[in-house]
Amino acid sequence: MAASENQEGIIQYVPFMSFVHPSFWHSLTEMKLDVDKLNENTKQIWGRFTYRSSIGAVFEVDGTSFNKVPENEQLYTNIKGTIMNKNTIEEFKSIDKAALLNSVGKELWASLQDKSWISKPSSLLKFIILSFADLKKFHYYYWFAFPAPSQPTVYVKNKSANITTQFDTNQIAQITQSYKSLELEQKCFFAIVKNNDTIQLKTLSDLLDTKDGLQKDVDVSSTYFVFNDPSSGDNPGWPLRLFLAALLEHCPSLVGSEIKVIGLRCSATGGVENSHSFTVVVPKDVKAVDAAGWVGWERNDKGNFGPKLANMSSSLDPVILADTASDLNIKLMKWRLVPDIDVDVMKSTKCLLLGAGTLGCHVARDLLAWGFRHITFIDNGKVSYSNPTRQVLFSFQDCLNGGKKKAEAAADGLKNILPTAVSKGIAAHIPMPGHPVGESLKEETINNIKIITEAIADHDVIFLLLDTREARWLPTLLAAHYGKIVINAALGFDSYLVMRHGIAGSPPEESPSVGTAFISGNSLGCYFCNDVTAPGNSLKDRTLDQQCTVTRPGVAAIAGALAVEILVGLLQHPLRINAPAVYNLNSDTEDVPPEMQGVLGPIPHSIRGFLHSYQTVAPTCAKFKQCIACSETVINKYKEEGITFLLDVFNSGNYLEEVTGLNELHLSAEMTDILTLSDEDED
Amino acid sequence: MSITTITFHEFLDSAKQFVQKSEKIGDGWTLKEDKTDNLKTYLRKDAFVQCQDENMNHLLKVEYVIFYNLSYGVPSFSFNAWNSTGTLVTLDDIRKMSFIQINEKDFYSVITQQEHPIFQKPYFIMHPCHTETLLAAFKNKTKNIIVTFLGLITPLIRLNLPLEYGL
């Protein structure tokens, strides 16, 4: 410091820095919603500061600030204040800040005049909070003020010094002891009188004549005026400003003299050895306290006089709390077990679920659990009384009055579980091959095709969770055309199939040899690749994908879970949809070369499970070049003819077999059968 | 094989002793007893901590909570921190402000944000999995298991453990 030891300088008080406990906003919110409502009356609250010489002049409020009686904590001084919570941001902005401060100043002024401060010294300290609570966003605008008169201006002589320059160790121990036995109300401001070696603590009532001036026996030169000092630096804390103003107002005899002041700063155990002593010089021409002219608004973080903002949405908004808490589960996987997992990819991936039945509901719930937030349903059905027990997004209420639309009820169900889910339902019928479209339905069918096409183009992942084989045809073709990830699940009575599809394009050039260990993701077969008949008649007796409702209930839960896990595995693979599938996937995934694995391990092409024997197999199959849904022939035909081609397919059960040449294959297959039989006959 | 976990009553006894000592030296720990659900009893201390990141000085208030972890049978350490507006500090902020002396690689395996078993709100919790083995080495040699436990943690965290606890 450039200032020399003996220089006198204008006293610099360390202002309070407000510090709000999260529970303060919690209590304020409850109070506003349950008690005050639109009432804007000011309310009395409590705040406190510590004079434990540690962190600086911090002024704290918390949830207990609204209590009638303050909680007493050791080495803290409680201060009475008021909060004025405005209903609108406009009122908060437009209120006359100077007038508000002066109105509190007037009360203080009155207590100086009627001398009531002498018996209740702590009443000198007050604070104001002006606030506006935006309870939709949990944003709180607030501004603290610690009213103090701008006058009188006094000076300090010398730099402040440790208390040891004034008292010896014994005396300090004596002060510590006497201070502890002072009445709570008197601890805030008092005096120490030193006579030779004896030390005496005096309350202000002992020291000051109630009319004016000091008591007759008081010798200023041996009296130290003491205040609880929140400051931890060389300058005295804010409370001294009020103490000096009150003293000078009460004792005109002090004008023109030097006053000894102790800023009481305690150690953790309550010892006063860290206290500071100040010598205050009061000039002869000092100005008196004014009824107006009060200062004390707090500066914000930018150093300006202005309000602060507390954005408490992450800890108070229940919607955000639910969202972050469910995210925590996924982050914990990353933090604890799978450091390379990408937690954001799930949030940004949009899923389209075709079918909002048993499978659709299970898949949606598992997607939510994995952190997916964009989930759209397409379904044309309504919730019926038999649904809620198996279809886990629905409840009895959804069945009433003819039943809600399933797609919408499922989306609502998801948002009920997690309000931040972005979910909607589209009610649309999926046209099917071999289900002729009459003239009367042509327009509606074309409209449905458009809706489905747009939905597929808009999403990243298409789940096929339908209850018939035919209904899967159109979305399989469209998804292959648009290059989307397709996850397909189909159920039998006690068996299931879960698989991912490849994308449009020709099958691999070379037919796989014995040495080939994998198929690249884009060349994987679709649901129809392994079938040599076109979909057309679901009344034929098949075990899989027939009548979804006649399944063992656990099958849908298992298949739905596997469908989501395959998707997540795929998204966590650097090649995503192109992630290869190995031919021989067994439990020893350590044998699978690392480049075949994603962050969560290798990703199978398909999983077939049999609940009857509790067996699972994971076959891998390549694209079939004559596939009726994803082959180049079919996709090209769709590209050329568009909706006309689709309508032709819907109207004729055999059209697809003609287009792909499957009917010729049937003929040659029959030939093979015959040849085989004749071989055996020879044996 | 000797039992290395700590029972709730051992925890509670140590906690009571610990708080008495803390009161004597003004260290600020308090015991919050839950009479209806005893297992929700915990030790708590609030303190201001000055933290620094790249460009700013932050004064934070930190709430330290030691509770009994029933599934691991050990004391567990958790904390939350907020700035002057009352906004809670994020895990990433905690890492950046070198509030905890752990290298970045191990950070997330030692400290994670979890729903607190007592408060049902997100807290930063130190993973308890190594606590048992570490404490086992001291179990019969220590006067107070809480002091030993804190002794293991304080090198990592900005929390002062006065020497007087050892006396």
**Per-residue pLDDT at A680:** 40
Residue A268, min C-alpha distance to chain B (Å): 5
In the block, tokens 């499978």 appear at A359
Q: State how far the Cα of A572 lies from the Cα of A32, in Å rounded to an integer.
A: 46
Averaged pLDDT, A219-234: 90
Which chain B residues are closer than 8 Å to A49 by Cβ? none
Q: Is residue B1 part of a domain?
A: no
Of all helices (H) and strands (E), which one includes residue A190?
strand A189-195
Q: Is residue B3 part of a domain?
A: no
Q: Among all residues of chain A, which has the CA nearest to that of B28?
A: A268
**Most confident option among A50-54, A217-221, A490-494, A580-584:** A490-494
| B contact test, residue of A17, A18, A19, A232 with most B CBs within 10 A | A19
List the CATH number of the domain containing B76. 3.30.1460
Which chain B residues are closer than 8 Å to A331 by Cβ? 112-113
- Given a cut of 70, whether residue A305 has pLDDT beyond it is yes
Averaged pLDDT, A259-268: 91
> Looking at the partner chain, which of A24, A268, A315 has a beta carbon nearest the beta carbon of B25?
A268
- Given a cut of 90, whether residue A660 has pLDDT beyond it is no
- Given a cut of 80, whether residue A505 has pLDDT beyond it is no
Q: At the topology level of CATH, where does A8-149 sit?
A: Cytidine Deaminase; domain 2 (3.40.140)
Q: State how far the Cα of A386 lies from the Cα of A380, in Å rounded to an integer.
A: 17
Q: State how far the Cα of B51 lies from the Cα of A4, in Å rounded to an integer.
A: 33
Higher pLDDT, A328 or A380: A380
- Given a cut of 80, whether residue B97 has pLDDT beyond it is no
CATH pick for A155-294 out of 3.30.1360.120, 3.40.140.100, 3.40.50.720, 3.40.80.10: 3.40.140.100
Q: Are A607 and A562 in contact (CB under 8 A)?
A: yes
Which chain B residues are closer than 8 Å to A309 by Cβ? 85
Positive or negative torsion for Cα B30, B31, B36, B38? positive
Residues facing A602 on adjacent strands: A597
Q: State how far the Cα of A485 lies from the Cα of A501, in Å rounded to an integer.
A: 7
- Given a cut of 50, whether residue A538 has pLDDT beyond it is no
Q: Is residue B67 part of a domain?
A: yes
Residue A76, min C-alpha distance to chain B (Å): 13
**From B25, B59, B70, B129, active-site residue:** B129
**Per-residue pLDDT at A270:** 85
Instruction: Quote the domain boundaries for residue B29.
Output: 8-161
Averaged pLDDT, B125-154: 79
**Per-residue pLDDT at A219:** 83
Contact flag B59-A17 (C-beta cutoff 8 Å): yes
Question: How sure is the predictor about A198, in pLDDT bands with cuts at 50, 70 and 90?
Answer: confident
How many CB atoms within 10 Å of residue A388?
Answer: 18
Contact flag B87-A328 (C-beta cutoff 8 Å): no
Averaged pLDDT, A88-105: 90
Cis omega before residue A152 (within 30°)? yes
Q: State how far the Cα of A142 lies from the Cα of B77, in Å rounded to an integer.
A: 33
Identify the burial level of A649 via C-beta atoms within 10 angstroms of its C-beta, where 0-12 means exposed, 13-18 middle and 19 or more buried.
buried
Write out the CATH class of domain A323-435+444-635: alpha beta
Poorest-pLDDT segment among A59-63, A324-328, A531-535:
A531-535
**Most confident option among A480-494, B45-59, B106-120:** A480-494
State the DSSP string of A506-540.
PPPSSPP-TT--EE-GGGB--TTTT-SS-S--TTS
Averaged pLDDT, A71-92: 91
Higher pLDDT, A373 or B71: A373
Pinpoint the residues of chain A covered by CATH 3.40.140.100.
Answer: 155-294
**Residue ranges of B 34-93 with Cβ closer than 8 A to chain A:** 48, 50, 59, 61, 82, 84-88
**Per-residue pLDDT at A315:** 84
Question: How sure is the predictor about A683, in pLDDT bands with cuts at 50, 70 and 90?
Answer: very low
Question: How sure is the predictor about B64, in pLDDT bands with cuts at 50, 70 and 90?
Answer: very high
Contact flag B59-A19 (C-beta cutoff 8 Å): yes
Contact flag B114-A336 (C-beta cutoff 8 Å): no
Averaged pLDDT, A266-273: 87
Contact flag A270-B113 (C-beta cutoff 8 Å): no
- Given a cut of 80, whether residue A540 has pLDDT beyond it is no
**Per-residue pLDDT at A655:** 86
Higher pLDDT, A190 or A1: A190
Q: Are A492 and A590 in contact (CB under 8 A)?
A: no
- Given a cut of 60, whether residue B100 has pLDDT beyond it is yes
**Per-residue pLDDT at A458:** 96
Average pLDDT, chain A: 86
Residue B140, min C-alpha distance to chain A (Å): 31
**Per-residue pLDDT at A678:** 41
Beta-sheet strands, E only, within A421-566: 422-426, 461-464, 485-491, 495-500, 518-519
Poorest-pLDDT segment among A367-376, A468-477, B47-56:
B47-56
Strand, helix or coil for residue A456: helix
- Given a cut of 50, whether residue A567 has pLDDT beyond it is yes
Q: State how far the Cα of A380 lies from the Cα of A425, in Å rounded to an integer.
A: 10
Contact flag B59-A55 (C-beta cutoff 8 Å): yes
CA-closest candidate to residue A425, choices A407, A413, A412, A409: A407
Which chain A residues are closer than 8 Å to B59 by Cβ? 17, 19, 55-56, 58
Poorest-pLDDT segment among A216-220, A260-264, A508-512, A541-545:
A541-545
**Per-residue pLDDT at A676:** 44
Q: Is residue B56 part of a domain?
A: yes
Contact flag B26-A269 (C-beta cutoff 8 Å): yes
**Per-residue pLDDT at A511:** 56
**Total domains, chain B:** 1
- Given a cut of 70, whether residue A621 has pLDDT beyond it is yes
Q: State how far the Cα of B165 lies from the Cα of B151, in Å rounded to an integer.
A: 10
Which chain A residues are closer than 8 Å to B56 by Cβ? none
Radius of gyration of chain B (CA): 16
Q: Is residue B150 part of a domain?
A: yes
* Distances A124 to A111, A178, A210, A246 between C-alpha atoms, Å: 8, 23, 16, 8
Q: Are A332 and A357 in contact (CB under 8 A)?
A: no
Contact flag A325-B84 (C-beta cutoff 8 Å): no
Q: Is B30 on the interface with A (CB under 8 A)?
A: no
- Given a cut of 80, whether residue A549 has pLDDT beyond it is no
Averaged pLDDT, B89-117: 78
**Per-residue pLDDT at A387:** 93
Averaged pLDDT, B97-104: 70
To the question of pTM greater than 0.95 for the whole model, the response is no
CA-closest candidate to residue A470, choices A662, A642, A663, A629: A629
Percent of chain B whose predicted confidence (pLDDT) is above 90: 29
> Looking at the partner chain, which of A17, A54, A328 has a beta carbon nearest the beta carbon of B115?
A328
**From A548, A621, A627, A630, active-site residue:** A548
Averaged pLDDT, A76-102: 92
Poorest-pLDDT segment among B10-19, B62-71, B127-136, B150-159:
B127-136
Residue B36, min C-alpha distance to chain A (Å): 22
Question: How sure is the predictor about A363, in pLDDT bands with cuts at 50, 70 and 90?
Answer: very high
Residue A317, min C-alpha distance to chain B (Å): 12
Q: Tell me if residue B129 is catalytic.
A: yes
Q: What are phi and psi of A77, to 5 degrees?
A: -105, 125
Contact flag B88-A315 (C-beta cutoff 8 Å): yes
CA max distance for chain B: 53
Q: State how far the Cα of A262 lies from the Cα of A58, in Å rounded to an integer.
A: 19
**Per-residue pLDDT at A5:** 46
- Given a cut of 70, whether residue A669 has pLDDT beyond it is no
Q: Is residue B120 part of a domain?
A: yes
Pinpoint the residues of chain A covered by CATH 3.40.140.70.
Answer: 8-149
**Residue ranges of A 253-292 with Cβ closer than 8 A to chain B:** 267-270
> For A568-603, how does the pLDDT look when each residue is reduced to its tens digit (9 = 90+)?
999 999 999 998 888 877 766 677 777 788 899 899
Q: State how far the Cα of A392 lies from the Cα of A360, in Å rounded to an integer.
A: 9
**Most confident option among A371-375, A505-509, A610-614:** A371-375
Q: Is A300 on the interface with B (CB under 8 A)?
A: no
Q: Among all residues of chain A, which has the CA nearest to that of B108?
A: A335
Q: Among all residues of chain A, which has the CA nearest to that of B57?
A: A301
> For A129-158, how does the pLDDT look when each residue is reduced to its tens digit (9 = 90+)?
999 999 888 999 999 999 999 888 888 887
Radius of gyration of chain A (CA): 41
Percent of chain A whose predicted confidence (pLDDT) is above 70: 90
Q: State how far the Cα of B29 lies from the Cα of B141, in Å rounded to an integer.
A: 23
How many CB atoms within 10 Å of residue B5?
Answer: 14
Beta-sheet strands, E only, within A528-681: 581-582, 597-598, 601-602, 606-610, 615-617
Q: Is residue B167 part of a domain?
A: no
